[in-house]
Structure 1
Amino acid sequence: MGKPLKRHPAFVPVSRDHHFGLLLVWKIRQGREIGIAPDRLFNYVKYFYSTHMEPHFSLEESVIFSYMGKNDLLRKEVESQHRDLRDAYKELREFKKDDLLNKLNEFCQMVEAHIRFEERKLFQYMQVELLNKELEEMEEKVAAIHKPVTEDWEDKFWVK
Structure 2
Amino acid sequence: MPKPLKRHTALQNLSREHHDILVFALRLKKGLKKAELVEIKNYIDWFWEEYLKIHFQQEEVYLFPISVEVSKLTNTAQEYHEKIEQLIKANHIEELHINEIQKTLIDYVRFEERKLFPELQIKLSDSELENYAKNHKVQLNCPYWPNSFWK
CA distance in 1, matches of 2:4, 2:70: 26
> 1:133 — aligned with what?
127
User: Does 1:104 pair with 2:103?
Assistant: no
**Cα deviation 1:55-83 (Å, max 9, x = unaligned):** 00000000111111288211211111111
Q: Is the 8 A contact 1:70 1:76 kept in 2?
A: no
Q: Is the 8 A contact 2:50 2:143 kept in 1?
A: no
| CA RMSD between the two structures | 1.5
Cα pair distance change 1:129/1:70, threshold 3 Å: closer
Q: Is the 8 A contact 2:11 2:117 kept in 1?
A: yes
CA distance in 2, matches of 1:74, 1:150: 26
The sequence identity of aligned pairs, in percent, is 28
Q: Is the 8 A contact 1:5 1:124 kept in 2?
A: yes
Structure 1 residue 28 displacement after superposition: 0.9
Structure 1 residue 86 displacement after superposition: 1.0
Letter in 2 for 1:7: R
Q: How does 1:135-154 map to 2 (within 5 A)?
A: 135-143=129-137, 146=138, 148-154=140-146
User: Does 1:67 pair with 2:61?
Assistant: no
**Cα deviation 1:29-60 (Å, max 9, x = unaligned):** 11112x31101111111111110000000000
Cα pair distance change 1:118/1:71, threshold 3 Å: closer
CA distance in 2, matches of 1:68, 1:80: 15
> 1:20 — aligned with what?
20
| Alignment length (residue pairs) | 151
CA distance in 2, matches of 1:79, 1:124: 17
The two structures have a TM-score, normalised by structure 2, of: 0.94
Structure 1 residue 135 displacement after superposition: 1.1
> Gaps spanning 5+ residues in structure 1: where?
none
> 1:5 — aligned with what?
5
| Structure 1 ranges of 4+ moved more than 4 A | none
Structure 1 residue 147 displacement after superposition: 5.1
> 1:157 — aligned with what?
149
> 1:50 — aligned with what?
49
